[in-house]
Amino acid sequence: MAYLDSLIQKCNSLSLTHIKQLQAHFITSGHFQFCTSHRTKLLELCSISPAGDLSHATRIFHQIQNPSTNDWNAVVRGLASGPEPTRAISWYRTMSRYSHRVDALTCSFTLKACARALARSEAIQIHSQVLRFGFDADVLLQTTLLDVYAKVGDLDSAEKLFDEMSVRDIASWNALVSGLAQGSRPNESIALFKRMGVEGWKPNEVTVLGALSACSQLGASKEGEKIHSYIMEQKLDMNVQVCNAVIDMYGKCGFADKAYRVFENMGGRKSLVTWNTMIMAFGMHGDGAKALELFEQMGITGVHRDAVSYLAALCACNHAGLVEDGVRLFDSMAGSGVRPNVKHYGSVVDLLGRAGRLKEAYDIINSMPMFPDVVLWQSLLGACKTYGNVEMAEFASRKLLEMGSKSCGDFVLLSNVYAARERWNDVGRVREAMKSRDVKKIPGFSYIEVDGVIHKFINGDQSHANWCEIYAKLDEIKFQVKAYGYVAETNFVLHDIGQEEKENALCYHSEKLAVAFGLISTSEGTPIQVIKNLRICGDCHAVIKIISKIYDREIIVRDRARFHRFKEGLCSCRDYW
C-alpha cells in the first residue's frame, strides 16, 4: 500500500499508457473496487491531467460497482473543464436521480460547467438544491454561484446573492465587479469597486481589470486615473494584462497620449496584445500616422503581427482617410502569411467607400473568397448615403433584406438617401417597411462625467434635474452659433416637416444636451468629454466645432466608432468620419 501511495503521488507526470498500466495493476491486485482513494485518484488522472482522456475516465467509471461521491466528482470535474461542459450537467442530473450523495464539490464543479455553457436555468436549479442540501454556508460555493450568475448575465440574482452572503471574500467581490462591467452595468461596477475600499478590501489584479473595463465603457477618465494610481501604488503594473487594460482605458477615455506613456514604460514586457491595443487607440483618435509607425515598429522589433494587428492598422487608415496606405496594407497581408478575414475586407470596403470610391468598394465585395456579411453591405450603404448614390444604395439595401437584417440603421440610411433628394414617398415606404418588419429604432443617448458622477441624456431629454438650465444654455448656443454663420443641416432630419420644426428637432440631440450640461457645470477652460452610443450626427458635429471656438473649450466626443477632438473650431477627424 505504501508503494502504491508513493506511485500515485508521481502519476501527474505519467502518460496515458502508463495510467492504463496502473489501472491494470489496480484491477489485478484487487485494489480497484475496494481502495476508493486510489481509484478516485486514477479517475482524476484520466479526467483532468494533461495526459488524461475523458472518454477513458468514463469507461473506468462504468466498471465501478458502487461508485463513491468522490468517483462521481472526479468525472464531473473533468467534464466541466472539457470541450463539452453540458455533459457535466447531465452527469450531475444522473447522480441526483440515482440518489447518490451530492456534496458541495459536486455542486461547485457543475456550476462551473453552467458558467462555461451559459446555462442559466440549470444554475438556478442547482442553486435551489444548494439551499436544500444546506451548502449555502460554503463561501467558495457561494462565490462560484455568484460567478455563474454574473457570467450568464443574471446580474440581479448575482447582486441579491452578494447582499445575502454572510461572509464574503475577494473572489466574490471580483466576480460581481467583472460581471457588472461585462453585463453593461459599468456604473454599478465602479460603485462596487469604490465600496471595496470603503469596507477595507484590497482590490487585486482581477478586480482592477473589471473596474478598468467599466471605466472604458463609460469614458470615466477620472475614475480610471484613480484606479491607475492604485495599480502603481500596489505594484500591480508588473502584470502585463493589467497594463494592457490601462492602455485600453486611456485610449477609450480620450487620452491616447497617456495610453502611450504606459505603453512606453512597459519596456520589454510588451505582449502582442499590448502593441495591438496601442495601435487601436491611435486609430480611434484619428492618428493614422502614429498607428502605422507603431505597426512598422512591430516588424522591426521582431514582434509577429497577427490578424488583429492588421485590422487595427487598417482601421487607423480608415479613420484618418489614408486610403492608399490602407489599400497597400491590405494587399500586403497575403505576403506576410496573414489571411484576410471578413473584418479586414469590411475595413477596406469602408475605407474605399468613405473616399467616394464606391465602384472599387463594390468590386472588393464581389471578389471576396468568403460570403460577405451584413457589415460590408452596411458600409457600402453608408457610403452611398454620404455620396448620394441612390441606385447603389437601393442595391445594398436589397442585399441586406435578403440576408434578413433587421437593423434600424439600414432603413435609416436608405431613408437618409431618399430624404436628401426630397423623395418623401420613398421615405414613407421605408417607414412602412420598418413597421411591417417590426424594426425598432435604437435611441441615441450620451454620457458625460462631472465630478465623478455619470449623467445620461437622450434626445429631447427633460428628465435631468438641471434641464431648465441646460435648455437655456442651448438657446444661448443656438443664438451664438447662428451669429457665427451656422446654418442648420436639416437634411439629417428625415421627417417631411417644416424648416423650423427640423431645426428644433436637431437642437435637442443627446450630444448637444451633454455638451450644454458640461458648459454650465464645469469651470472655464476645462475639457468636456462626451460618450455617444451611436455615430455623432453631422449637424451636431458642425455645431460642436463652433462651440469649441466660441466658448474656448476642448470638447472630446467618443461615438461608437472613434474619437472627435474639437478644439478652436476644428475637429481631429478633419471632417472625415
Domain span at residue 527 reads 445-571
Would you state the pLDDT for residue 385? 87
Does residue 531 belong to any structural domain of this protein? Answer: yes
Does residue 484 belong to any structural domain of this protein? Answer: yes
Would you state the pLDDT for residue 476? 94
Does residue 538 belong to any structural domain of this protein? Answer: yes
Q: What cell was used for 147?
A: 460567478
Would you state the pLDDT for residue 497? 45
- For residue 271, which phi and psi values (nearest 5 degrees)? -100, 175
| 3 state DSSP class of 175 | helix
Would you state the pLDDT for residue 245? 97
Other Cβ atoms closer than 10 A to 370: 9
Does residue 472 belong to any structural domain of this protein? Answer: yes
Q: What cell was used for 371?
A: 460570403
The domain tally of the chain equals: 1
Report the side by side order of strands in the sheet with 528-532: 453-458, 445-450, 528-532, 555-558, 563-567, 570-571
Does residue 523 belong to any structural domain of this protein? Answer: yes
Would you state the pLDDT for residue 53? 72
Would you state the pLDDT for residue 15? 55
> What's the half-sphere exposure (Cβ side, CA atoms, 13 Å) at 429?
9
The CA distance from 47 to 57, in Å, is 6
Does residue 438 belong to any structural domain of this protein? Answer: no
Would you state the pLDDT for residue 402? 87
Q: Flag residues of the chain having pLDDT under 70.
A: 1-38, 48-52, 99-100, 489-505
Would you state the pLDDT for residue 31? 56
Would you state the pLDDT for residue 2? 47
The CA distance from 555 to 557, in Å, is 7
